[in-house]
């Protein structure tokens, strides 16, 4: 049986990054994710990896561009304002088709906002984020276990499609202590396959160039269409989600991350009152599990979207349901976290008490 340890979410995340065979981390301190670089600095030292505390998030993402282009697994971690600073770099990385892992422990915004948990960077994470036509694969863990497991998954997807990947979490998940099962053997970075784009010096092969620009007439358009096809492939193959109690449900809550945990508790309370409530938890935010939502919407009249923002994922839900169902919303922006009774109240408003 795999080893089990009681851990903070943030520490589980660090172990997951090390276990995924990543030996390169660059980042700049920001609350609420400081435990990540702090613990990472110790762990990278132990495993002989690279840890860089940078002068800014701009430097961090560009160091990742370099390390990713050199063919190694590279990670940065930050929170909302820092992720905003990284957007130009992420756009270049996407434009050069380089896999890297970016972690956003989202906090309340806009601006300096606050350091409370939030989901207000959903648009930024799932609609591109920086300039140009691109998307980033976005995973939304909701437990310390998934914080441990998702870095590996994120690297696998990033490398399969040669695209940056994001893990979108919040401070609540990071601060929580939970048992974590070490479900896979640590990956030896030396045993990962060589990358055919990696900048390593051109001994014995033609030189390689990593870039995002192409000024030849029509060529950049071609390249964007090629990347568009890649994105269509990702959308087709990689929609991930979990459903609970959806078979007999009259109402389905859609929520991810911390909100999914809150929603799950509310669902149980509702079931105790004989209200037939189900839950769909998106695991990939991009690609959004639109096929499942579309399928459910053929039968489900009411969806309740719960988010820690003013309503961002709700747009993707509306689109997926093609407006066939009624979409209800419970949101808490600015660092507010909805409570299970709050969600239950909303459920009762929609379904009427005890049906």
Partner 1 sequence: MKLIFGRPAGLTDVKQRYCPGCGHGIVHRLVAELLVELNIRERAVGIAPVGCSVFADEYFNCDMIQPPHGRGPAVATGIKRARPDCILFSYQGDGDLAAIGTAETVHAAARNENITLIFINNAIYGMTGGQLAPTTLPGMRSTTSVQGRDIVKQGYPIKVCELLAGLDGPYYLVRCAVNTPKNIIRTKKALKTAFQNQINNKGFSLVEILSMCPTGWGMTPVQAKKWIGEVMSKYYPLGEFRNLAKEEK
Contacting positions for partner 1 (CB under 8 A): 24, 26, 50, 52, 54-56, 58-60, 62-72, 74, 88-89, 92, 96, 199-204, 207-213
CA 173 to each of CA 97, 305, 306, 340: distance values in angstroms, whole numbers, following the listed order: 30, 20, 17, 16
Report in angstroms how near the CB of residue 317 gets to partner 1 at its nearest.
Answer: 35
Output 189 or 336, the one with its CB closest to partner 1. Answer: 189
Minimum Å gap between C-beta 71 and partner 1 is: 8
The residue assigned the tokens 């690297």 is 155
The smaller minimum CB distance to partner 1, of residues 6 and 42, is found at 42
295 strand-pairing partners:
none
Phi then psi for residue 181, to 5 deg, are -95, 125
Bridge partners, residue 303, by sequence = 252, 327
Q: Least Å distance between CB 66 and partner 1?
A: 3
Nearest to partner 1 of 191, 247 (CB atom):
191
- Give me the torsion for CA of 181, 183, 188, 192, rounded to 10°: -140
Task: State the nearest-atom distance from the C-beta of 43 to partner 1, in Å.
Answer: 16
Rg of the chain over CA atoms, in angstroms? Answer: 21
In whole angstroms, the minimum distance from the beta carbon of 97 to partner 1 comes to: 13
Task: Indicate the residue among 48 and 354 with the shorter CB distance to partner 1.
Answer: 48
Q: How far is the CB of 68 from partner 1 (least distance, A)?
A: 8
The length of the chain in residues reads 355
CB of 64 to partner 1, least distance (A): 6
Residue with smaller CB distance to partner 1, 54 or 126: 54
Which residue in the block uniquely carries the two structure tokens 């390593």? 200
**Shortest gap between Cβ of 207 and partner 1 (angstroms)?**
5
β partners of residue 280: 243, 254
**Residue-wise DSSP of 104-142:** EEEBS-STT--SSB--TTHHHHHS-SSSSS---EEE---
Q: CA–CA distance from 263 to each of 34, 144, 164, 258 (Å)? A: 28, 18, 30, 9
In angstroms, give the least distance from the CB of 6 to partner 1: 33
**By C-beta, is 201 or 352 nearer to partner 1?**
201
| Nearer Cβ to partner 1 (59/254) | 59
Nearer to partner 1, 1 or 209 (CB): 209
Name the β-bridge partners of 277: 251
- Please say whether the beta carbons of 131 and 49 come within 8 A: no
Nearer to partner 1 by Cβ, of 85 and 283: the residue is: 85
Give yes or no for a contact between 311 and 331, defined as CB atoms under 8 angstroms apart: yes
As beta bridge partners, residue 25 has 51, 75
Q: Where are the beta strands (DSSP E) in 274-325?
A: 277-282, 284-286, 302-307
Cβ of residue 33: shortest distance to partner 1, in angstroms?
20
* Alpha-carbon torsion (187, 192, 198, 200), positive or negative: positive
Any idea which residue has 């909302």 for tokens? Answer: 80
Nearest to partner 1 of 71, 278 (CB atom): 71
């Amino acid at each position: 049986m795999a080893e089990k340890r009681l851990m903070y979410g943030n520490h589980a995340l660090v172990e997951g990054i090390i276990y995924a065979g990543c030996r390169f981390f660059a980042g700049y301190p920001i609350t609420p994710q400081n435990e990540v670089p702090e613990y990472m600095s110790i762990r990278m030292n132990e495993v002989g990896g690279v840890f860089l505390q940078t002068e800014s998030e701009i430097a961090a993402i560009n160091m990742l561009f370099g390390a990713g282009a050199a063919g190694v697994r590279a990670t940065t971690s930050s929170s909302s304002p820092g992720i905003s600073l990284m957007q130009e770099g992420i756009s270049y990385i996407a434009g050069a088709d380089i896999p890297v892992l970016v972690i956003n422990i989202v906090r309340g915004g806009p601006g300096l906002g606050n350091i409370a948990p939030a989901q207000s960077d959903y648009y930024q994470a799932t609609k591109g984020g920086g300039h140009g036509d691109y998307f980033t694969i976005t995973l939304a863990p909701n437990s310390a276990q998934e914080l441990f497991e998702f870095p590996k998954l994120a690297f696998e997807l990033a490398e399969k499609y040669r695209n940056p990947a994001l893990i979108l979490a919040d401070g609540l998940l990071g601060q929580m202590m939970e048992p974590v099962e070490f479900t896979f053997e640590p990956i030896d970075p030396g045993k990962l396959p060589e990358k055919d784009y990696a900048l390593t010096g051109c001994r014995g092969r033609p030189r390689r160039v990593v870039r995002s620009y192409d000024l030849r007439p029509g060529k950049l358009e071609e390249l964007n269409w090629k990347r568009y096809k890649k994105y269509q492939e990702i959308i087709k193959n990689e929609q991930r989600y979990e459903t609970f109690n959806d078979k007999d449900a009259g109402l389905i809550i859609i929520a991810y991350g911390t909100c999914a945990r809150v929603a799950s508790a509310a669902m149980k309370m509702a079931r105790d009152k004989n209200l037939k409530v189900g839950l769909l938890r998106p695991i990939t935010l991009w690609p959004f599990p639109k096929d499942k939502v579309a399928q459910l919407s053929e039968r489900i009249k009411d969806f309740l979207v719960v988010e820690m923002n003013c309503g961002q994922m709700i747009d993707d839900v509306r689109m997926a349901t093609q407006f066939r169902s009624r979409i209800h919303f419970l949101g808490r922006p600015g660092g507010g976290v909805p409570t299970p009774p709050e969600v239950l109240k909303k459920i009762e408003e929609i379904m009427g008490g005890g049906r």
